[in-house]
Structure 1
Amino acid sequence: MKRAQPRRPPQPTLRLDSRDPQELLGLIPYLLGFRPEESFVLLLFRGSELLLSARVDLPPAAGAGQLADYGHALAVAHEATGAVAVAFGADFAAATALLDRWRARWARAERARPSCVLHDVLYADGEHWWSRTTAFGRSRTAGVPYDPRASGAAAAAVMAGLPALSSRSELEASVAGPAEPDRPALAALAARAVRDLDQLDVQARQITMVEAVHAGLAAEPSDEACARLAVLAAAIDARDAAWSMITLDRADDHVALWRRVVRRTIDRYALGPLALTGAAAWVGGHGALLNCCVERGLRLDPSYSMITLLAELASSGIPPTLWHELGPRIREEVWSETG
């Protein structure tokens, strides 16, 4: 089972006046950033405010207890007052068996520590949905037709500029690095960047990074500029200077910049750009993208500290509003060391 993917909705706060399944099923792809398949999704609310969404690959029914305990712990930690669970999958029997066990375990957790009302437990196969909280929803033939693209919530998400890729694999591919035929030329650009930047001291590296980030935010960077950014990000001091530049209002711009760098960077220099893409994704509320960065980063180097930090942020569902506190602290630490 892949890592859970808690995701805070992008600012401003998303409120739902209705928990109609049609609306929720239309909104979920935009909350996750892709259209879920074989997935379990938990939505947590405080009143009408959607606090966060969390997704895992759909586990077998035997994993329901662990999944429910994790979800309930998230609900308690975030002081959620309501929850909706959805299983997306092709196998009605397997998915509904998981949901029924999950619901029973959630009820047990609620009896031990009441905190969060379970509003609905849904199964969806992409064309129909069933509610497991009603007797009607237990019949295989009783599915309610739905079109996730036809909901008002989906239309609002599109108007807000939220993306929904066709699958998680498409999202993974966006941070998978360059195509094999491009790698020799990109490796040569990286080697040239190393020669050009190798003699810079800490302060010069940080200033060069800041200038390069500003340029990359203003216009899509060339392959040569991507190589320089990646080589700079290999130095912790320069990487942290770029990290300190991320803000809540421009997080998506930093995502676009560093994802472009990741796509044009060979594995040897990919960790810094991956970490910065993941950090910007966390601040921007793009939990699925954050997890894709974490997963590739851990494959490249499981001891890389910024990737392990991002993994903790992802698994704990820590909200990006914490960046209001962390961002200024990181900026102060980065620049106080160099004056």
Structure 2
Amino acid sequence: MKRAPSHRPPPPTVRLDSRDPQELLGLIPYLLGFRPEESFVLLLFHGGELLLSARVDLPPVAEADQLADYGHALAVAHQATGAVAVAFGSDFTAATVLLDRWRARWADAERPRRSCVLHDVLYADGERWWSRTTAFGRSRTVGVPYDPRASGAAAAAVMAGLPALASRAELEASVAGPDESDRPGLAALAARAVRDLDRLDLPARRMAMIEAVQASLAAEPSDQDCARLAVLAAAIDARDVAWSMITVDRADDHLALWRRVVRRTVDRYALGPLALTGTAAWVGGHGALLNCCVERGLTLDPSYSLITLLAELSSSGIPPTLWHELGPRIREEVWPETG
């Protein structure tokens, strides 16, 4: 599959009252954070509760079995009792052949367990949808018109303040670093931060990171603040202190902070902030943004350990609830002098 799968649990402020395709198609852009194109999306349920959304680039038909096996493994891992699959694409024939093969493979994988019901398999081209099952009794020939913005689920997502960017490319751009014209000035700020911080020993660097993060959570950091945070994060010990400060209840605040730092940091110091942005994205349930951080991080340095860890978390479908246990444990390890 071209990109690592992205996973996102539904926000607690949005409830889905049915699995009607109109409602699902309206909610999916807000679950992903952007409007999907040429994408395969799997929604997993437990009873009436939406557990997880997972997305990959729409693969070739030859990868349908692999995609079904991966989706079924996710369903088992999350103890899902129901699933809906949706392919978004411009080629009706290619997408529906993929879906039909995917559905057959899913049935083979699920048959021995009989624990996760496949409620529907949909194809959508942006204007109409088709069901590849008979769950909703819809026509497979003419399709059903839909407007994703007109659904009740979409309205609830907007009211909850959930974003839906126009495309994944827009999401990638949000962690792509500064504009070329800004780079010389930002590089100079980073060099100044290196000189200012060079005299600090390890305990002082840890404390400097704590103070810088706390201040920047209280007020949007300036370019100078971003340079200081990025240079501090270049040291693994100080970066790990910031890593441990990310909590489930404030994940989105840390995400906004480190995303700002990434946007104002030159490549030389971008890896630490990218890894921290990716962690906050994972903890907050922003799977697509996590993958954008991983992709850029691997481009900068494919051996950077925290980026490769995040890549494994994403590809394995590890739920962010793990951070309830892992976060405090990391904090105990990296705060021995300051905690």
Q: Give the TM-score range, shorter chain.
A: over 0.9
Distance 1:221 1:240 in 2: 20
Structure 2 distance, partners of 1:88, 1:285, is 22
Unaligned runs of at least 5 residues, structure 2: none
Aligned to 1:138: 140
**1:332 CA drift (Å):** 0.5
Q: Give the drift of 1:80.
A: 0.5
Alpha-carbon distance in 2 for matches of 1:330, 1:158 = 35
Report if the CA contact (8 A) 1:43-1:84 is conserved.
Answer: yes
Structure 1 counterpart of 2:221? 221
**Deviation at residue 316 of structure 1 after TM alignment:** 1.8
Give the 3-state SS of the residue equivalent to 2:199 in structure 1: coil
Match of 1:138, SS state, is: coil
In the TM superposition, residue 10 of structure 1 has moved relative to its aligned partner by 3.0
Question: Cα deviations across residues 247-305 of structure 1 (Å, max 9, x unaligned)?
Answer: 11111111111000000101110000000000001111111100100111111111111
What is the aligned partner in structure 1 of residue 18 from structure 2? 18
TM-score by length of 2: 0.96
Give 1:183's aligned residue. 183
Matched AA of 1:4: P
Single out whichever of 20-29 and 329-338 deviates more from structure 2: 329-338
Residue 137 of structure 1 deviates from its aligned partner by 3.8
> Aligned to 1:59, what secondary structure does the other structure show?
coil
Secondary structure of residue in 1 paired with 2:282: helix
Conserved 8 A contact 1:26-1:149: yes
Q: How far apart in 2 are the matches of 1:68 and 1:18?
A: 24
Distance 1:156 1:321 in 2: 24
Report the equivalent of 1:240.
Answer: 240
The CA distance in 1 between the partners of 2:64 and 2:15, in whole Å, is 28
The answer for the alignment partner of 1:68 in structure 2 is 68
Determine helix, strand or coil for the equivalent of 1:101: helix
Q: In 2 relative to 1, CA 25–136 (structure 1 residues): closer, same or farther, beyond 3 Å? A: closer
Kindly provide the amino acid, as one letter, of the partner of residue 321 in structure 2.
Answer: T
Letter in 2 for 1:290: L
Map of 1:103-252 to 2, 5 A cutoff? 103-134=103-134, 136-139=138-141, 142-252=142-252
Partner Cα distance (2:9, 2:156) in 1: 17
Q: 1:98 to 1:137 in 2, by over 3 A?
A: farther
For residues 145 and 116 of structure 1, the distance between their equivalents in structure 2, rounded to whole angstroms, comes to 29
Say whether residues 1:297 and 2:297 are aligned partners. yes
**Residues 24-63 of structure 1, C-alpha deviation per residue, up to 9 Å, x if partnerless?**
0000000000000000000001101111110000011111
CA distance in 2, matches of 1:87, 1:188: 47
RMSD: 1.3
Matched, 1:307 2:310: no
Shift of 1:323: 1.4
Q: How far apart, CA to CA, are the structure 2 residues paired with 1:270 and 1:10?
A: 29
In 2: Cα distance, 1:338 partner to 1:184 partner? 35
Q: Deviations over 1:134-193 (max 9, x none)?
A: 385431xx2111111111111111121211100000000000001111111111111110
CA contact under 8 A between 1:83 and 1:120: conserved in structure 2?
A: yes
C-alpha distance in 2 between matches for 1:137 and 1:286: 34
Q: 1:2 corresponds to which letter in structure 2?
A: R
The residue that corresponds to 1:283 in the other structure is 283
Unaligned runs of 5+ in 1: none
